[in-house]
Amino acid sequence: MEKTELLGLSLEEVEQVMAALGLPRFRARQIYHWLYKHQVHSFYQMNNLPKELRHFLDKKVALTVPRVMKARVSRDGTRKFLLELADKKRIETVAIPQFRTDGKKFTICVSSQVGCPVGCRFCATGQSGFERDLTAGEIVGQVVAVERELKQREKQNLGERYLTNVVFMGMGEPLLNLDAVLKAISIINDDRAIGIGQRHVTISTAGFIPGIRQLAESGLQVTLAISLHATTDEVRNRIIPMNRRYPLESLMESISSYIEKTGRRVTLEYLLLDGVNSSAQDAERLAKMVRPLLANINLIPYNETDRLHYRRPDQYTINRFVACLTREGVNVTLREEMGSDIEAACGQLKGRMAAAGRKQEIGSVDSK
């Protein structure tokens, strides 16, 4: 019989598992504490549990934190991790330092799927195909594994936390795996577990409208980011295949109702692709689309990836785009790219970092 996996369960669910094993409820809290506050990977590391109990738990239930196979550090301090899941599939997770806090705090960019079924033309993940959804445990497991890595590498005091924000901008389309994403967020939020508040969580979507509706109804206080990337259906159909099913007009409507329903500001992401969507006319159309909304625009100059032919516009074109939006009174930020030298930036994740030399590096990174 398959063992019940504890990672990804609520505390109440872990209590039920303990009860079913004939153990007292407080064992669940102890396990939760070890797992989420000390990021342990095994029952044998839970020092205050009796030895026989650790052995018993190890026989009866599972605790499968993704294994860190490889880690790379960028010049700007961004770290990219290659994680292996129980079925040997691989995903990437990125930790981005927040420099306003001395580089001691990080935002974690988590994956929600292995690959992505949306298939955006400019995106390395989308072009690498889709394998499967992640479970809630595998999403939460990325936070646990990376927090532990950061603590170990920086030799920081136990107890202090490195990760303070979570963005669903890694591999995959989170709204196509919303049940697992919501379950993961509830554990990320829970003070008895990871304890990162909803307002510090961002979900980014290519525009899956049923998911936007469901998120609005969930009552969550997370930030929604929409990958807009085009101002006409003609262009958007070409670069984001999902637009054919959920075209711009309905997408903009669903964003307004989301804002109306939640009262939350939405972030519109706009990728700047040379010769595709970055003309002065595009900027003007974008300003018109955005002005009626409670929204910020985040401009992202394209991170070039090998084998995809898209290019980032030159600085003149980027500046012209920013100036045009500003002149139109739109609230705009140009996203500083982090980690592009190690292909850790948005859209550069592929989940199969160079196999060559992997064996030697495992030892140095994964200290288990």
> Binding residues for ligand SF4, per CB under 6 A?
116, 118-120, 123, 125-126, 172-173, 206, 347
Residue bearing tokens 């554990």 = 187
Which residue number, 39 or 177, has a Cβ lying nearer to ligand SAH? 177
338 is a contact residue toward ligand SAH (CB under 6 A):
no
Query: Is there a contact between 326 and 332 (Cβ–Cβ < 8 Å)?
Result: yes
| 149 in active site | no
115 is a contact residue toward ligand SAH (CB under 6 A):
no
Q: What SS3 class is residue 90?
A: strand
Pair of tokens at residue 243: 């637009």
In whole angstroms, the minimum distance from the beta carbon of 210 to ligand SAH comes to 15
Q: Which does 94 bind (CB under 5 to 8 A by kind): ligand SF4, ligand SAH, none?
A: none
In whole angstroms, the minimum distance from the beta carbon of 5 to ligand SF4 comes to 25
In whole angstroms, the minimum distance from the beta carbon of 187 to ligand SAH comes to 20
Q: Which of 5, 15, 92, 173 is catalytic?
A: 92
Going through 12-158 in order, the beta strands assigned E by DSSP cover 61-62, 67-73, 79-84, 90-97, 106-109, 113-115, 130-133
Q: Which does 300 bind (CB under 5 to 8 A by kind): ligand SF4, ligand SAH, none?
A: ligand SAH
Q: Which does 119 bind (CB under 5 to 8 A by kind): ligand SAH, ligand SF4, none?
A: ligand SF4
220 contact partners, CB below 8 Å, separation of at least 6: 182, 185, 198
- Run of H or E residues at 192: none
Number of residues counted as binding ligand SAH (CB under 6 A)? 17
Tell me the sheet residues that pair with 68: 83
Which residue number, 10 or 214, has a Cβ lying nearer to ligand SF4? 214
In whole angstroms, the minimum distance from the beta carbon of 116 to ligand SAH comes to 6
| 116 in active site | no
258 class by beta-carbon count within 10 Å (0-12 exposed, 13-18 middle, 19+ buried): buried
How many CA within 13 A on the CB side of residue 308?
Answer: 24
Residue bearing tokens 């109804």 = 217
Q: What whole-number distance in Å separates Cα of residue 291 and Cα of residue 362?
A: 50
State the binding string over 194-233 for ligand SAH (x if CB under 6 A, else -): ----------xxx--------------------x------
Catalytic residues: 92, 346
